A = this chain, B = another copy of it.
Amino acid sequence: MNTSYSLWPVPDIFWKSLFDADSIAVIGANNIFGSWGFDALKSARASTETDSRKEVYAVNPNAPEIQGLPSYKTVLDISGPVELAIIVVPAAIVPSILRQCVQKGVRAAVIISAGFAETGEAGIRLETELVKIAKEGGLRFVGPNCLGHADAHTRVASAGVVSRIKPGPLALLSQSGTLGASISHLAADAGIGLSKFVGTGNEANLHFEDYLEFLSRDKDTRIITAYIEGLREGRRFFRLSREITLQKPIVAMKVGSTGESSRAAKSHTGALAGSDAVYAAAFKQAGIIRVEDEEELCDVAVALLNQPLPRGNRVGILTMGGGFGVVTAEACEKEGLKIASLEPATLAKMDAILPPRWSHGNPVDLVGIKMMGEDATTSSCLSLLMADNNVDAVISLLPPVAALPPGANGNLELERLQAISSAYRKGMDFLKLQVKLNNKPLLLIRRFFNRPPGGTDVSPEQGRIIPEYRNHRRAARVLAHLAWYSRYLDYRRNE
């Protein structure tokens, strides 16, 4: 397994060419909206808006002009240097195109074209030829059969659907283009921008492990996320991950655990899914947080990027209604968390400020009667819960802002929306301060009645945010992941 070409060290200059090339040729660029060649050129050109010294060339022998750019017959017809080639031509002619790239002195290529190892014997032969050409020519390549790549900071990109995402701390490696696009868009919806994205495709030349190694030292990347169907260098992956997770969290989806999904993975990118039990054990030992789907991946990423890790697994729950307390306690216990027994001092203080009907324990149920217009009470209860020494983390089902009276006509007119929005921001500021004061994570569950108008303030640039989850099960699961990762780090650091 460890004899593959990809174990040849990847020079730093390659990564510079891939993610920050000064000159890019898109070979197979075209004018057909929605085609890969169209998208690749459009994506690549975004980098010239960020840095006007960058050059992007269109290569296509069949059109004189592409998207307003002059078109070159071959990459060899370009007079200036070409650092990065993005290749979007039929599989059969990719080898000859790659030879031209070598001849031109291209250092890095992204081969988007499909029709290689994933299709059977003939495709495997074609792919082997690509590897040989690259090896002999001193070129390294991403793919083939991939969505492309993107650096959200430099805007150098070949993957259309990912290229327009804003810069941020999350790196994403995906063995599926569609899943990669899906994850990056969900993350964007949650306010998290991207550092680097790679749709790794068939990994004929560069393996998943090469990208992982690079990301471990990439300064733009604070968290590494991944969609994995199968790994080509399992042992190297394990060794690398075990080092990386001590510095940066890795959150990964690993699929192919069932018969048909494993078969589908093979025909997708030629990956062998392997034994799920082996993967599960290896992930645990390497400190990788394994998630079930894209939403969970983003849920965990938001928390990891914005919250401290809990020191244990004892949860305090603040709720405005008994039902929410019941379902949240159940979800926490099902995820292996404990419902904290509050300190007597906390209970006594709550007794002093709450009406006699409150739940007198955890979950702290404020029983709804006074749920509206009672900021002082709910804020005080939250502070008490966060400060309790028996509590490692808090889940709150209370909105950070109480409802405001409606205007004269009972509708939500603009002025009222602005007032709520402002109160919401103030409420969030208070919660952020509580997190900082107590150095404990605080997760919110956002339900219909605490949706802020105009979306939540989840921009990481604006400082630590309080994650809001759509339901109790998702919040409990995130907290269980954080508690597990925290315990893992403790264990490893005390080894």
Q: Are B256 and A447 in contact (CB under 8 A)?
A: no
> A327 within 8 Å of B by Cβ?
yes
Q: What are the interface flags for A49-88 relative to B under an 8 Å C-beta threshold, 1 for contact and 0 otherwise?
A: 0000000000000000000000000000000000000000
Stretch of A17-25, A99-107, A260-268, A456-464 with 4 or more beta carbons under 8 angstroms from chain B: A260-268
Give chain A interface residues in 357-401, CB to chain B under 8 Å: 357, 359-363, 365, 367-369, 371-373, 397
Stretch of A150-158, A170-178, A237-245, A428-436 with 4 or more beta carbons under 8 angstroms from chain B: A170-178
On whether A258 and B403 interact (CB within 8 A), knowing A267-B322, A295-B470, the answer reads: no
When the two chains form the complex, which single residue of B363, B369, B371, B372 contacts A264, counting CB atoms closer than 8 Å?
B363
> A259 within 8 Å of B by Cβ?
yes
When the two chains form the complex, which single residue of B114, B181, B368 contacts A177, counting CB atoms closer than 8 Å?
B368
> A257 within 8 Å of B by Cβ?
yes
A131 to B269, CA, bound (A): 68
Q: What are the interface flags for A302-335 relative to B under an 8 Å C-beta threshold, 1 for contact and 0 otherwise?
A: 0000000000000000011111111101101110
Q: Are A33 and B447 in contact (CB under 8 A)?
A: no
Residues of chain B with a CB closer than 8 A to A176's CB: 321-324, 326-327
Nearest B residue to A448 via CB reads B185
On whether A330 and B182 interact (CB within 8 A), knowing A115-B357, A293-B473, A405-B33, the answer reads: no
> A472 within 8 Å of B by Cβ?
yes
When the two chains form the complex, which single residue of B175, B294, B326 contacts A268, counting CB atoms closer than 8 Å?
B326
A332 to B181, CA, bound (A): 22
Q: Are B330 and A256 in contact (CB under 8 A)?
A: yes
A367 to B145, CA, bound (A): 10
Residues of chain B with a CB closer than 8 A to A365's CB: 264, 267-268
> A292 within 8 Å of B by Cβ?
yes
On whether A179 and B324 interact (CB within 8 A), knowing A33-B405, A115-B357, A257-B330, the answer reads: yes
When the two chains form the complex, which single residue of B264, B327, B333, B406 contacts A325, counting CB atoms closer than 8 Å?
B264
A405 to B180, CA, bound (A): 23
Residues of chain B with a CB closer than 8 A to A227's CB: 323
Residues of chain B with a CB closer than 8 A to A114's CB: 357, 367-369
Give chain A interface residues in 280-311, CB to chain B under 8 Å: 292-295
Nearest B residue to A397 via CB reads B178
On whether A472 and B293 interact (CB within 8 A), knowing A261-B329, A265-B326, the answer reads: yes
Nearest B residue to A229 via CB reads B326
> A36 within 8 Å of B by Cβ?
yes
On whether A330 and B258 interact (CB within 8 A), knowing A365-B268, A473-B292, the answer reads: yes
> A186 within 8 Å of B by Cβ?
yes
Q: How far is the CB of A447 from chain B (nearest CB, A)?
A: 5
A53 to B359, CA, bound (A): 43
Q: How far is the CB of A157 from chain B (nearest CB, A)?
A: 16
> A34 within 8 Å of B by Cβ?
yes
On whether A368 and B449 interact (CB within 8 A), knowing A258-B333, A329-B258, A333-B260, the answer reads: no
Q: Are B34 and A179 in contact (CB under 8 A)?
A: no
Residues of chain B with a CB closer than 8 A to A418's CB: none
A312 to B267, CA, bound (A): 26
> A465 within 8 Å of B by Cβ?
no
> A255 within 8 Å of B by Cβ?
yes
A161 to B36, CA, bound (A): 48
A397 to B178, CA, bound (A): 10
Q: What are the interface flags for A437-473 relative to B under an 8 Å C-beta threshold, 1 for contact and 0 otherwise?
A: 0000000000111000000000000000000001111
> A339 within 8 Å of B by Cβ?
yes
Q: A179-B323, A180-B323 are in contact. List 5 more A-B contacts (CB 8 A).
A: A175-B323, A178-B397, A258-B329, A258-B334, A264-B326
Binding site for B on A (CB under 8 A): 33-36, 114-115, 118-119, 161, 174-182, 185-186, 227, 229, 253, 255-261, 264-265, 267-269, 292-295, 319-327, 329-330, 332-334, 339, 356-357, 359-363, 365, 367-369, 371-373, 397, 402-403, 405-406, 447-449, 470-473
16 pairs from A and B in contact (CB 8 Å cutoff):
A118-B322, A176-B327, A178-B447, A179-B321, A179-B324, A179-B327, A181-B448, A186-B448, A256-B330, A258-B330, A260-B332, A267-B360, A267-B361, A268-B325, A293-B471, A295-B470
